[in-house]
Homo-oligomer: A and B are copies of this chain.
Amino acid sequence: MTESLEERQPHADTVHDVHELAVLDRIFPLLPVADSQLLGPGDDAAVLAAPDGRFVVTTDMMVHGPDFRLAWSQPHDLGWKAAASNLADVAAMGARPTGLVVAIAATPDTPVSMLEGISAGLRDACALLAPGCGVVGGDMSVSDTLTLAVTAFGDLEGRPPVLRSGARVGDVVALAGNAGVAAAGLRLLFDEGVDVSGNPDPVAAAAVRAREPRLVGAQLAPTPPISSGVDAAVAGATAMLDVSDGLALDAARIARASGVCVDLHRSTLGEDVESALRGGEDHALLATFGPDATLPAGFRVIGSVRAGTGVSLDGEAVGGVLGWDPYVGWDGRTG
């Protein structure tokens, strides 16, 4: 009987008009298959390999409004960013990403082509950032608010996970990836990706993205250095995390967990130090290494670990609100 349902409206345009199974039939072929997949989508659950008897798991939700605007992000961007941000959390443990499960709640008027675009973004992010990683399962729901929930898995390949709590006085602080670039892109979108009334506008956003592809692209489709996570672990990183909420706030998390002070060097943070310190969503990897470690390619020294607490900049404490808080920061707009 399910066949007749699937065939009812094969060419309709929105998820409301197309049966769930037909949506899945259009999406599945787009999704990357994970090398570690032992059983893929189509049963009650998937089965994934965990060769060393453990697996790393993280989950992150992207919500229309606080996390993205449809006037700014292409569907491909949404899938890409949902994958990239979760892959970065796996990488930050020193693990190799192996698989994703993806739950999408779409409004009834969502074009199926948007879900296909999201799927292509998931595929391309896996292929570029974490080859071998794929989508092993998912869920499709309907909602008043477009929402993507991704859960990502990783293989520690026999190594201990790299925690936030391992930084020691005397370690060097190093960064792989951008600091403040995604935030600069977001500022451009808020300033110029809008119409005369200040509302997010797709034409204006496309124009600013064409003019500043690096900055706007860093916000809408970030390319975190996923493979650097394993490299850092192999090189003996003592602590590591994914910089999602801003360098200052995330460095404070290492400082707090490790019982140390993270001192950042102003000269390493570029011209716009404020953006570098407080801008989130770059998904760079912030790590500490023993003083004698050889930093893996892609990491640059941006500070040192000292006795004390919190975060300092050339020895001076960094204060103020340190980063984005979803509950306090969202103004309720969507667009």
Residues of A within 8 A of B (CB): 1-2, 5, 15-16, 18-20, 23, 38-39, 42-67, 88-90, 92-93, 95, 99, 101-103, 105-106, 108, 136-145, 147, 149, 151-154, 156, 161, 163-164, 240-242, 248-249, 252-253, 256-257, 310-311, 318-322, 325-328, 330, 332, 334
| Most chain B Cβ neighbours within 10 Å, of A45, A163, A240 | A45
Complex Cα spacing A102 to B151, Å: 9
Q: Is the CB of A57 within 8 A of B46?
A: yes
Complex Cα spacing A16 to B61, Å: 18
Q: Which of B163, B318, B320 makes the CB contact (< 8 A) with A39?
A: B163
Q: Is the CB of B2 within 8 A of A139?
A: no
List the 9 shortest-distance A-B pairs measured between CB atoms, nearest first: A149-B149, A50-B50, A45-B58, A145-B145, A44-B92, A151-B151, A44-B89, A63-B143, A61-B103
Q: Is the CB of B55 within 8 A of A50?
A: yes
- What DSSP secondary structure best describes chain A's contact surface? mixed
Number of copies: 2
CB-CB under 8 A from A44, the residues of chain B are 58, 88-90, 92-93, 164, 240-242
Complex Cα spacing A240 to B66, Å: 40
| Most chain B Cβ neighbours within 10 Å, of A61, A252, A334 | A61
CB-CB under 8 A from A252, the residues of chain B are 1-2
Complex Cα spacing A106 to B143, Å: 13
| Most chain B Cβ neighbours within 10 Å, of A64, A142, A249 | A142
Q: Is the CB of B101 within 8 A of A59?
A: yes
User: Measured between C-beta atoms, what is the minimum distance from A199 to chain B in Å?
Assistant: 17
